[in-house]
Amino acid sequence: MSKKLNKLTVFEILSIVSGMQFGDQILIDPTPSDVPGLYREALISRASWYEIDLGAMRHNYRQLRAHLAPAVKIFACLKRNAYGCGAGPVARALAAEGADGFAVAALPDAIAIRRAGVETPILLYPGPLPASAETIEALHLTVTVSSIDELKQWRAVMGATRIFVKVDLGFHRAGATPKAVGEILAAAHAYDDVEIHGLYAHLSELPASSPAQESDQISRLERILQEADASGTRPPVAMMASTAGVLRWPAMDFDAVDPGALFVGLSETDQGVRSVMLRPALKAICASLVSIKQVDASLGPAPDLPGFRQGMTIGVLGMGWGDGIPRHLAAGTPALVRGQRARLIPPVHLEHLRIDLTEIPDARFGDQVLLLGRQGDKAITHDEVAACWDTDLIGLYAQLRDHVPRVYV
């Protein structure tokens, strides 16, 4: 079996937590060098983990790249720890594919990307504040500015201030109004210590948005850029298209695009004019049986709750609502044990969850249990999990927890 320096193969991890044997060169994050010894032991002995397919992310990147002109840059949006998939490893994989930069909303995500050895530009969406200026400068990050006051506050604490100006085209969120953009660009150009790297906007995602409004927002940005060209203040990069925009509106390409959900396999639209075949990055949600027992009369009557009955065999999983499982899980939600479907039994606890093993008599302490993924010829799909968890696919990724180890394939 091949090993990598300062990495644990999945064989080493899973031989501890479940006794199963897997293929080689599958790595876990964090690496041993990232965490002290005692914490590392606790981490790798957890009875739950996520399996993340970096190959799927590379595939999704190539699907997008094939539709863009060579001059159009890709700033991969890796907010919320790359949608729960791990900002550092994901950025490293996409940088190897040629990503021009990254965008995040939280400073820890930017730190994780730099710690992964990625040196490409990182744009900070609104979130980090000037109190973090020392870290931002040390990591060569670019901040978002939406007003002259923000610009002044950043300049007051930084030696050289790298900025993107954000424009609000109708989202009514962060960003300068179209009327105020020219004044901000002019002010930024007046300072020798300010580097204007770009200007960006995000298409409105408000429920009332319509295709006509999307077209209006594109027109607003075009007018802003025309005025900036005329005044000599146009930034080198103009960017607007996130995932739905880049698939539905090629006119949004401008100089760069910043999709995010696309890389984890979500198109966020059913009306794309650009055809892409996306693969899900989340390959499996894995847990382990940490306890098994047969219910007998010594316990008293079976609880008067859905899923409980006298004489059943109950298993306990080392995963609960503190690990991202919905606190109110639908009765009958499936899981896979030894290649067979079994039912989870609510209620969900902070760190544990019950499963009905009555029909799987050969299940044993330490066995792997899949809440999503494939065992043998049986599978639990993303759509099935999302329905049982009462969410959508993006909501499924949003519930991934950062403390749960991620195994990369």
Q: Which domains does the chain have, with CATH numbers?
A: 57-264 (3.20.20.10), 282-408 (2.40.37.10)
pLDDT of residue 98: 98
User: What is the spatial distance between Cα 119 and Cα 122, in angstroms, rounded to a whole number?
Assistant: 8
More confident residue, 167 or 302: 167
Tell me how far CA of residue 305 lies from CA of 60, 345, 371, in angstroms.
44, 9, 22
Mean pLDDT across 107-132: 97
pLDDT confidence of 74, banded at 50, 70, 90? very high
- pLDDT digits 0-9 by tens, 5-37: 344 443 343 333 333 323 223 445 544 444 444
pLDDT of residue 45: 55
Mean pLDDT across 51-72: 97
- pLDDT digits 0-9 by tens, 317-372: 999 999 999 999 988 899 999 999 999 999 999 999 999 999 999 999 999 999 99
Residue 67 has pLDDT above 80, yes or no: yes
Of 346, 362, 333, which is closest to residue 305 (Cα–Cα)?
346
**Span of 39-48, 202-211, 270-279 with lowest mean pLDDT:** 39-48
pLDDT of residue 208: 67
Q: Is 68 exposed, middle or buried (0-12, 13-18, 19+ CB in 10 A)?
A: middle
pLDDT of residue 29: 53
In DSSP terms, 282 is beta-bridged to 52
Mean pLDDT across 384-391: 96
As given in the structure block, the two tokens for residue 220 are 């607003």
More confident residue, 38 or 379: 379
Q: Is 40 exposed, middle or buried (0-12, 13-18, 19+ CB in 10 A)?
A: middle
Count other Cβ atoms within 10 Å, centred on residue 54: 20
Model confidence pTM above 0.75:
yes
Report the length, in residues, of the chain. 409
Mean pLDDT across 73-83: 97
The whole-chain average pLDDT of the chain stands at 88
- Strands (DSSP E) contained in 205-352 are 238-241, 256-257, 282-294, 313-317, 334-337, 340-345
Tell me how far CA of residue 228 lies from CA of 105, 265, 333, in angstroms.
26, 36, 55
